[in-house]
Amino acid sequence: METVTIPQNYEIAVQMLADWHSDSSDSSMRILAFPDPNRSIVRLLELSRRFPSVGEELRPVSFGRSHEFPFPSSVILADPDDWQRIERRELKLPDGWDLDQAAPILP
Amino acid sequence: MTKGAAFFKQAASDFAVFEWMLSQDRTVIPECHVGHYLQMALEKLAKAILIDAQADPGNSHAAFSRLRHHLRRADIAHALGYADFRQFRALLERSAALFVEIEQLHPGIPADFDGPNVEYPWEAPQTVGTDLWLSPVGYRFPIIGKLQRTGDGAALIELIRRIFARYPSTFT
């Protein structure tokens, strides 16, 4: 039976999800967190040349809280060119994602 | 509506329900229901694509793992928006175990298997307390956690979304 460490607070949950998704073999990978002021929803934007461009819509993959990960989470996969469009505010972030609060987590 | 289109229509609805349940509190919604809709959606999606490719899988529930091989083409990768075919193929390779694990949520796969599945109770191994039978409700299906805990889990969901979004132009 697989043993899973349960994150005890919001900050640990953000780092844990980023660690799970990081790939040391992918030098193009960056992960940014978009903190929730209510410290409830873990939001990550993951950038890599591996991922296809999002096109015209940023649509997160969302998970509800669970016994093993007691925080809802949303993850967007995008390529680095998409990030430039986000920074220029040409691509609209989903509701609740604040570009001014984006914080690099990895590398 | 063609047979392939009918399978696709039902698969798209199943997948929308799966995504909705996945986003809900899973301490409330049992994982078996999340997994059931995932398995049903992807079996029907695979059948739609195989039917349209003149490779009708018949009544077998083992269709989704066949889809992985069918997708491994440069023209399909590009049609789905993956510019780098090598990276697309690598994603399919890394996801092989996830394809199999999703397919095996069905009670009939593998054949003659009497164990954890998302639909029907199964006879408990003798080592599980005093219960003679176990029910899918309350069982933790590892695949649901893997979709969240691995980078390839989100990448696989994104791939499946793209197949649904671009199905008519890519596969019919």
**Which tokens hold the place of B141?**
């299906």
Q: For residue A52, what pLDDT is reported?
A: 95
Q: Between residues B21 and B67, which one has the greater pLDDT?
A: B21
Q: Are A48 and A28 in contact (CB under 8 A)?
A: yes
Q: Is the pLDDT of residue B74 over 80?
A: yes
The pLDDT tens digits for B92-117 are 999 999 999 999 999 888 777 778 99
**For chains A and B, what is the number of CB pairs under 8 angstroms?**
74
Spell out which residues of chain B touch residue A66, defining contact as CB-CB under 8 Å: 26-27, 144-145, 148
Spell out which residues of chain A touch residue B140, defining contact as CB-CB under 8 Å: 67
Give CA–CA dist B93/B139, Å, rounded: 28
Contact A49 B25 (CB under 8 A): no
Tell which of A46, A49, A56, A66 to mutate to test the B interface (max B CBs under 10 Å).
A66
Owner of token pair 């929730």: A36
Q: For residue B168, what pLDDT is reported?
A: 85
Q: For residue B112, what pLDDT is reported?
A: 73
The pLDDT tens digits for A62-82 are 999 999 999 999 999 999 999
Residues in chain B: 172
Q: Give the mean model confidence (pLDDT) for residues B50-78.
A: 88
Report the mean per-residue pLDDT for chain B: 92
Q: For residue B172, what pLDDT is reported?
A: 80
Owner of token pair 């195989």: B50
Q: For residue B128, what pLDDT is reported?
A: 63
Instruction: Give pairs for B13-17: CB < 8 Å, separation 24+.
Output: B14/B40, B14/B41, B14/B44, B15/B41, B15/B42, B15/B45, B15/B160, B15/B164, B17/B41
User: Nearest-CA distance from A22 to chain B in Å?
Assistant: 7
Q: For residue B105, what pLDDT is reported?
A: 95
The pLDDT tens digits for B122-144 are 988 776 677 788 899 989 999 99
Q: For residue A24, what pLDDT is reported?
A: 87
pTM of the model: 0.93
Q: Is the pLDDT of residue A1 over 60?
A: no
B17-27 b/e (C-beta count within 10 Å ≥ 16 → b): bbbebbbbebe
CA-closest candidate to residue A80, choices A40, A41, A28 = A28
Q: For residue A5, what pLDDT is reported?
A: 87
